Amino acid sequence: MRKTVLALTLTAMGALALAAANRPLAARSAAQFTARATPITVALVDTLPRLRRTYAVVILRLGGDEPADIVLLPKATASGVLLDGATRALLHARAQQGDSPTVFHGRHFDTIMLGVNPGQAPTSWVQKEVPRAQHLVDLLPSAPTRYVPGVGTVHALDFYPPKLVK
């Protein structure tokens, strides 16, 4: 079976570059943020998948597999700032794409890869969430290795993203 992959670019603030016509994050109702209950897997990798541009972090959104959302952090540059930026981008992607992580503009894909170059976050967010993300990054090298779909056997942890507040 041939895998269909869509690679998208996330801007520094985490907006899908190809989805500018969608309603902004702040305009969404609180009911649309229930995806917070879905954990995110963070995996420590030697190299990131090759995309058209160079990114600091790559997010895989897999259809039909558990986990559905995987943040790939490169060993050489893994940091709380990178994990936090990827988490913010993924929260935005979840808000825009809903419960079907492999549907984009009505087309179905087996895998969606989101390239992320994190940007600035509000100071109140950074003070609370970056230390939490750094703690997870510090735990990753000693985390048990396990098979992660679409990635292979790597050091990986599951975590719940922070709750979005309007």
23 belongs to a structural domain: no
110 belongs to a structural domain: yes
Sign of CA dihedral 94, 114, 120, 25: negative
What residue spans of the chain are helical by DSSP H?
80-97, 123-139
Nearest CA-CA partner of 38 in 84, 89, 101 = 101
150 belongs to a structural domain: yes
113 belongs to a structural domain: yes
Q: How far apart are CA 60 and CA 7, in angstroms?
A: 9
139 belongs to a structural domain: yes
165 belongs to a structural domain: no
pLDDT band at 111 (very low <50, low <70, confident <90, very high): confident
25 belongs to a structural domain: no
Angle between helices 80-97 and 123-139 (to 10 degrees): 110
Residue with tokens 């902004």: 24
Domain containing 10 equals 5-14+34-155
Report the DSSP beta bridge partners of residue 69: 61
Query: For residue 115, which phi and psi values (nearest 5 degrees)?
Result: -85, 135
Q: Can you tell me the mean pLDDT for 71-96? A: 92
pLDDT band at 123 (very low <50, low <70, confident <90, very high): confident
Average the pLDDT over each of 46-50, 95-99, 114-118 and give the range with the smallest value: 95-99
Q: How many CA atoms lie within 13 A of 136 on its CB side?
A: 24
28 belongs to a structural domain: no
For residue 97, what are its two tokens?
């794409």
pLDDT digits (tens, 9 = 90+) for 31-78: 344 445 689 999 999 999 989 899 999 999 888 767 789 999 999 999
Q: How many structural domains comprise the chain?
A: 1
Q: How far apart are CA 112 and CA 99, in angstroms?
A: 14
